[in-house]
């Protein structure tokens, strides 16, 4: 088990292979009743190692070695939209006015131009419950480049 009680009865302790011992506020636990595509576990939390970074880690509370890099797609893809079928939105208990947090998983690489985000299967969080969904919006790529080579070239020329 990777979580336990801390000295503070209001927090949990995560024993992370990546971040060491981390105290977690139980209010930040995200329950994934259907799990996540391709990974185990149903209880996660978000860990931000740098408050200025657009990246966070979706860390399993059940497996101290499982942490997925995620980001809000708006940081890299302005105008990104999420479209769900009516049946899917009803299943999730959300509508257009529901406050949600939206994340996409990131695959890092040794070269910036090879960093990609999964825009096809974003993660929707509403009231502490998370679901990975299939985005019905056109253009939701499975491997969208976060740092296209031309953007990297433009920023290095400045």
- Local structure of residue 146 (DSSP, 8 states): S
Those residues whose C-beta lies under 8 Å from the C-beta of residue 157, and which sit 6 or more positions away, are none
pLDDT (tens digit, 9 = 90+) per residue, 110-141?
Answer: 988 899 999 999 999 999 999 999 999 998 89
Those residues whose C-beta lies under 8 Å from the C-beta of residue 150, and which sit 6 or more positions away, are none
Token pair listed for 47: 């860990």
User: What SS3 class is residue 150?
Assistant: helix
Nearest CA to 102 among 38, 53, 30? 30
Whether residue 155 has pLDDT greater than 90:
no
Q: Where are the domains of the chain?
A: 3-151
* CATH class of the domain comprising 3-151: mainly beta
pTM above 0.75, yes or no: yes
pLDDT (tens digit, 9 = 90+) per residue, 37-74?
Answer: 999 899 999 999 899 999 999 999 999 999 999 999 99
Q: How many residues does the chain have?
A: 158
């Amino acid at each position: 088990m990777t979580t336990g009680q801390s000295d503070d009865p209001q927090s949990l302790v995560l024993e992370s292979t990546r971040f060491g011992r981390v105290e977690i506020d139980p209010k930040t636990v995200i329950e994934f009743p259907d799990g996540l595509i391709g990974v185990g576990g149903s209880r996660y939390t978000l860990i931000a190692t740098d408050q200025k970074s657009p990246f966070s880690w979706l860390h399993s509370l059940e497996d101290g070695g499982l942490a997925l890099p995620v980001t809000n797609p708006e940081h890299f893809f302005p105008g990104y939209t999420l479209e769900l079928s009516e049946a899917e939105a009803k299943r999730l208990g959300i509508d257009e006015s529901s406050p949600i947090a939206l994340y996409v998983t990131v695959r890092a690489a040794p070269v910036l131009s090879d960093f990609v985000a999964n825009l096809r299967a974003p993660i929707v969080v509403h009231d502490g419950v998370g679901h990975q969904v299939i985005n019905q919006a056109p253009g939701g790529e499975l491997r969208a480049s976060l740092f296209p080579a031309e953007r990297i070239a433009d920023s290095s020329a400045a």
